[in-house]
């Protein structure tokens, strides 16, 4: 008999462990660990691919969010004054229209800074979804009132206050999100720069606004196309249907915002009732501390006074008193302006990075300001539209470059607050400029085009100050910090 402790032929062929031919109690552990590592690597690879796909979807989704708001905004630019002044609806005069416009724009001045604080503290994705839904509700309500024949002036005021308040929170939330979208794409190895991202967003804004303006022009009436387009008619489209379209487009923006990643949330360490005001004061301190931010805010205030004031008052008066046109002329003027802005945005999109952003910005402002002076000669209407187109070209460059400069210069943990202060300069200057330009046009009832010298001279003085006393003209583009960081994932 064989010794039971001695391996026989049967068990001698069995696999043994590495130590002395004895089976290891943990035999196969290395194999299991290798299989687990391979499984983990596969999971990480799948997750990385999903993250990359999600990041690639973000920029198109953001542009769709931008477009949804500005299609609705373009429709509103036509429908809001139309419903108030048209004899088919309320048939009210200029004073009521002015008060309604104040209800529409006033909340932006009051709540814009608070909106910047909220945009930093809240998740940008959820905030954009909520704001788009909140904007769609009053638009649907207005559509229902028009459809049922119960439209009233107080309802228009309520609509203006509602949309204006939502817009005050929307602007900093939406404009600060593009910075994060670009940063995530850069970390994934994309060549998209902040300047290009802002330019694409600006292009989406302009073309969407043009679409909204054109659609709004078909409200309740037919528009004949030129003979070279066939001379066919478009419309009429009932105003209630256009308002429902406006509400639907705003709601679609909430759907597009779902494809965005969750945004970063800033913690300032403040609490209590004074926390928001402390954050706002910190934002003002950041603007004052940076010569570029302070100069751009001052420039936007001047643009609001001289450029937007002229755009809202002087040009419509010239359109009516010199060229004897009505709403069709105003529509053509608005579309021509924004078409020029869109064309210049397309041109800028070719360049991923422009070295002398400040010089280009101030040059565009100077060209646009000097072009206004041609109106003093009371040129033919097509020349007037050509001037408006050049003005739009300059505006497209100015908007894209100024946003790029501010986004690049602002501290990332105060970005939304800085953007809201920058935008406040524009928003605060616009109503003041409109009032001043309106008073000046009353001084020249027979020749309102004479007022054109005021915005031209005012802007040229402001540009000269910017060149001589601020760093904007001589500044050179610096590579964003995000593009110099290693790829660490989103």
As a three-state string, the secondary structure of the chain is: CCCCCCCCHHHHCCCCCCCCCCCCCCCCHHHHHHHHHHHHHHHHHHHHHHHHHHHHHHHHHHHHHHHHHHHHHHHHHHHHHHHHHCCCCCCCCHHHHHHHHHHHHHHHHHHHHHHHHHHHHCCHHHHHHHHHHHHHHHHHHHHHHHHHCCCCHHHHHHHHHHHHHHHHHHHHHHHHHHHHHHHHHHHCCCCCCHHHHHHHHHHHHHHHHHHHHHHHCCECCCEECCHHHCCCEECCECHHHHHHHHHHHHHHHHHHHCCCCCCCCCCCCCCCCCHHHHHHHHHHHHHHHCHHHHHHHHHHHHHHHHHHHHHHHHHHHHHHHCCCCCHHHHHHHHHHHHHHHHHHHHHHHCCCCCCCHHHHHHHHHHHHHHHHHHHHHCCCHHHHHHHHHHHHHHHHHHHHHHHHHHHHHCCHHHHHHHHHHHHHHHHHHHHHHHHHHHHHHHHCCCCHHHHHHHHHHHHHHHHHHHHHHCCCCCCCCCCCHHHHCCCCCC
Same domain, 114 and 230: yes
Backbone torsions φ then ψ of 237, nearest 5 degrees: -110, 120
Q: Are residues 341 and 469 in the same domain?
A: yes
Q: How big is the chain, counted in residues? A: 490
Q: What is the CATH number of the domain that holds 322?
A: 1.20.1250.20
Q: pTM score, two decimals?
A: 0.66
Same domain for 339 and 240, yes or no, is no
What domain range includes position 395? 283-477
Decide if 36 is inside a domain: no
> Within a domain: residue 27?
no
Q: Could you tell me if 199 and 106 lie in one domain?
A: yes
Same domain, 233 and 174: yes
Say whether both 221 and 303 belong to one domain: no
Query: Is residue 80, in this structure, part of any structural domain at all?
Result: yes
Residue 50: what pLDDT? Answer: 56
Mark whether 235 and 302 lie in a shared domain: no
Last residue of a domain, one of 245, 260, 275: 260
211: in domain:
yes
Same domain, 253 and 347: no
Name the domain boundary from 226, 260, 294. Answer: 260
List the chain residues with pLDDT less than 70: 1-56, 93-95, 98, 189-192, 223-233, 235, 263-276, 309, 312-313, 326-328, 352, 477-490
Residue 345 placed within a domain: yes
Instruction: State the pLDDT at residue 31.
Output: 65
Any domain includes 40? no
Q: Which of 225, 260, 295 finishes a domain?
A: 260
Residue 287: inside a domain, yes or no? Answer: yes
Same domain assignment for residues 217 and 322 = no
The pLDDT of residue 483 is 38
327 plus 243 within the same structural domain: no
Domain co-membership, 338 together with 461: yes
Structural domains counted in the chain:
2
Same-domain check for residues 351 and 466: yes
For residue 231, is it within any domain? yes
């Amino acid at each position: 008999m064989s010794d039971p402790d001695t391996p026989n032929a049967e068990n001698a062929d069995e696999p043994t462990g590495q130590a002395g031919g004895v089976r290891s109690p943990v035999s196969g552990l290395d194999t299991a660990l290798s299989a687990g590592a391979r499984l983990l690597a596969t999971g990480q690879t799948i997750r990385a691919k999903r993250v990359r796909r999600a990041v690639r979807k973000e920029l198109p989704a953001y542009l769709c969010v931008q477009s949804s708001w500005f299609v609705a905004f373009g429709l509103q630019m036509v429908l809001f004054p139309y419903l108030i002044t048209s004899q088919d609806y309320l048939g009210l005069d200029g004073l009521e229209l002015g008060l309604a416009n104040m209800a529409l724009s006033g909340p932006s001045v009051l709540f814009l800074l608070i909106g910047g604080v909220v945009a930093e503290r809240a998740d940008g994705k959820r905030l954009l979804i909520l704001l788009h839904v909140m904007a769609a509700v009053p638009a649907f309500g207005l559509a229902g009132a028009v459809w049922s024949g119960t439209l009233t002036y107080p309802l228009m005021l309520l609509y203006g206050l509602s949309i204006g308040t939502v817009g005050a929170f929307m602007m900093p939330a939406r404009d600060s999100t593009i910075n994060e979208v670009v940063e995530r794409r850069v970390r994934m190895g994309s060549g998209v720069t902040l300047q290009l991202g802002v330019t694409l967003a600006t292009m989406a804004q302009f073309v969407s606004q043009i679409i909204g303006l054109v659609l709004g022009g078909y409200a309740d009436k037919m528009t004949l196309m030129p003979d070279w387009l066939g001379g066919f008619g478009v419309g009429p489209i009932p105003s209630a249907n256009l308002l429902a379209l406006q509400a639907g487009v705003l709601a679609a923006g909430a759907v597009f915002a779902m494809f965005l990643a969750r945004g970063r949330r800033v913690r300032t360490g403040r609490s209590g009732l004074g926390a928001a005001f402390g954050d706002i004061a910190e934002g003002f301190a950041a603007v004052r501390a940076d010569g570029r931010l302070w100069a751009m805010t001052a420039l936007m205030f001047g643009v609001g006074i001289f450029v937007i004031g002229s755009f809202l008052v002087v040009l419509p008066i010239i359109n009516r008193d010199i060229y004897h046109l009505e709403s069709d002329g105003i529509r053509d003027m608005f579309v021509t302006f924004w078409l020029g802005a869109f064309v210049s945005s397309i041109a800028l999109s070719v360049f991923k990075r422009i070295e002398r952003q400040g010089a280009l910005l101030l040059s565009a402002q100077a060209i646009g300001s000097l072009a206004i002076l041609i109106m003093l000669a009371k040129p033919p209407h097509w020349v007037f539209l050509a001037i408006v187109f050049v003005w739009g070209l300059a505006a497209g460059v100015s908007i894209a470059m100024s946003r790029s400069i501010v986004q690049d210069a602002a501290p990332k943990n105060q970005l939304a607050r800085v953007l809201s202060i920058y935008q406040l300069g524009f928003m605060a200057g616009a109503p003041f400029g409109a009032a001043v330009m309106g008073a000046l046009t009353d001084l020249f009832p027979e020749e309102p085009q004479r007022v054109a010298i005021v915005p031209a001279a005012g802007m040229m003085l402001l540009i000269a100050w910017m060149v001589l006393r601020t760093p904007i003209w001589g500044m050179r583009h610096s590579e964003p910090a995000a593009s110099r960081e290693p790829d660490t994932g989103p």
